Amino acid sequence: MIEYLGKGFFGLLILLSIIGIVIGAESPGYTVYVQGEQSTIESTTDGLYEITIQEIIPFSSIKDGDESFLVPIKHLANESYPMNAVLILAGSEIDLTSLIEISNLSIDSELNTITFEAHPLEFYSGELLNPYYDELGDLESAIEKKTDLSALYLEINNQVAENAWSPPFQCCFEGPNGQCYMKC
């Protein structure tokens, strides 16, 4: 009887010690960098801003941990919205960094423009965009200012796994380790 009690106590001790060892295998998401030239910002009646970035580079850079690679920008249209982003505007009249939430993103590949609605965020509780902003500015100060560089750092969150069967993506852009990053 004492032998079984000792083995049970030892097994319980092992179970309690491995609780802190379990670590998630996947990161919470990744960032996508999009760069363009001039931009226009218009204020709407409901506190949103409509932003158009012109002459965008047709490839965006994905950064996931230590990995970085390029994908065609057209795949951003398939992501789910809203998403958090850092907007950077630079030019002779303005130098602004703003934390925003993006919705209704559309890409016109013929005109090389990207248009979206932005809602300024007062705080950010995530971790992926922290390296990209120091001091935040107000989007209202950017209306009717000339920009030479417009850039976005988009936060793309990984989807949470569901406990149901669903067929794999028929088309996706795979990164260096075979992970599907953007749906086609």
Confidence of residue 161 (pLDDT cuts 50, 70, 90): low
- Closest listed residue to residue 49, CA positions, set 156, 149, 145, 157: 145
- Closest listed residue to residue 119, CA positions, set 150, 82, 172: 82
Confidence of residue 110 (pLDDT cuts 50, 70, 90): confident
H or E, element range at 16: helix 2-17
* Confidence at residue 1, expressed as pLDDT on a 0 to 100 scale: 63
Q: What is the pLDDT of residues 10-37, one digit of tens each?
A: 776 676 666 655 555 455 788 999 999 9
* Confidence at residue 167, expressed as pLDDT on a 0 to 100 scale: 53
What is the Cα–Cα distance from 16 to 87, expressed in whole angstroms? 46
Residue matched to tokens 């097994």: 11
* Confidence at residue 33, expressed as pLDDT on a 0 to 100 scale: 94
For residues 159-183, average pLDDT: 61
Q: Check: CB of residue 60 under 8 Å from CB of residue 128.
A: no
pLDDT at 153 over 80: yes
* Confidence at residue 13, expressed as pLDDT on a 0 to 100 scale: 65
* Confidence at residue 74, expressed as pLDDT on a 0 to 100 scale: 82
For residues 94-116, average pLDDT: 91
What is the Cα–Cα distance from 104 to 183, expressed in whole angstroms? 17
What is the Cα–Cα distance from 34 to 31, expressed in whole angstroms? 10
pLDDT at 150 over 90: yes
For residues 159-166, average pLDDT: 55
Confidence of residue 126 (pLDDT cuts 50, 70, 90): confident
* Confidence at residue 77, expressed as pLDDT on a 0 to 100 scale: 75
What is the Cα–Cα distance from 84 to 118, expressed in whole angstroms? 9
Q: What is the pLDDT of residues 31-57, one digit of tens each?
A: 999 999 999 999 987 889 999 999 999
pTM, to two decimals: 0.74
Q: Higher model confidence: residue 174 or residue 69?
A: 69
